Structure 1
């Protein structure tokens, strides 16, 4: 009963979110799943690490396809950053190397903070 209501709420929050809110949800998810993957590797939970890394990869794929690279050089540069992170996530997933996650996690957090700031500015 409760999970159904929760699913309806989650679907509505995504279906009625602005583009800025969706970007923020994606980047917050990337931070969350990156943390989960890191802990799963430490716990030697290979399946959980794989699932979390794939979800993070999917988020960066979505960020890449949603980026309009025709609006300026900054967008093309951001695309390359997303691409770099996604490639490193794939490598981390193949090797379960925590050092790779530690390398890219600050970038993932910075991207989240950037979109959070953009969202707050868009609301004003």
Structure 2
């Protein structure tokens, strides 16, 4: 019963989130999957690691697909997303925690920058979302 309520709450949060909040949730989810995947590699739980790292790869793919290339920053983000994706794939294939950690460090930095941009946008009264459509902050 409690689990169903928690799931319903989580679904409601996602359904009512602004585009910028969804992007932050995706960054956080990506970091969660990468950290758990790295831990699974370190514990030689390779099947679980593969599943977790593929989830992170799917989120990074979504970032790449939805990136609005009308902004100069997007031309800097795309190579970072590509590089991070490649580190994850290689880290997964080679079961190398160092490569996965490199991807974690990049996404963590991007997530932190995104959170700062959200905060500034709220202070400035709203702006355009580099990851997609317009939003009001």
The verdict on a shared fold, with TM-score over 0.5 as the criterion, is yes
Q: What's the CA shift for 1:81?
A: 0.7
Q: What's the CA shift for 1:13?
A: 0.7
* 2:50 counterpart of 1:53: no
**DSSP-derived class of the 2:68 partner:** coil
**DSSP-derived class of the 1:36 partner:** helix
Work out the CA distance in 2 between the residues paired with 1:98 and 1:79: 23
What do you get for the CA RMSD once the two structures are aligned? 1.3
CA deviation digits over 1:80-124, x for unaligned, max 9? 111111121111112211121122221111011011111212222
Q: Which residue does 2:62 correspond to in 1?
A: 62
Q: How does 1:1-124 map to 2 (within 5 A)?
A: 1-72=1-72, 74-124=73-123
Work out the CA distance in 2 between the residues paired with 1:19 and 1:94: 33
**DSSP-derived class of the 1:70 partner:** coil
The structure that is helix-richer by fraction is 1
Structure 2: gaps spanning 5 or more residues: 124-137
Where in structure 1 do 4 or more consecutive aligned residues deviate above 4 Å? none
**DSSP-derived class of the 2:119 partner:** helix
TM-score w.r.t. the length of structure 2 is 0.83
Work out the CA distance in 1 between the residues paired with 2:105 and 2:40: 18
Structure 1: gaps spanning 5 or more residues: none
Count residues with an aligned counterpart. 123
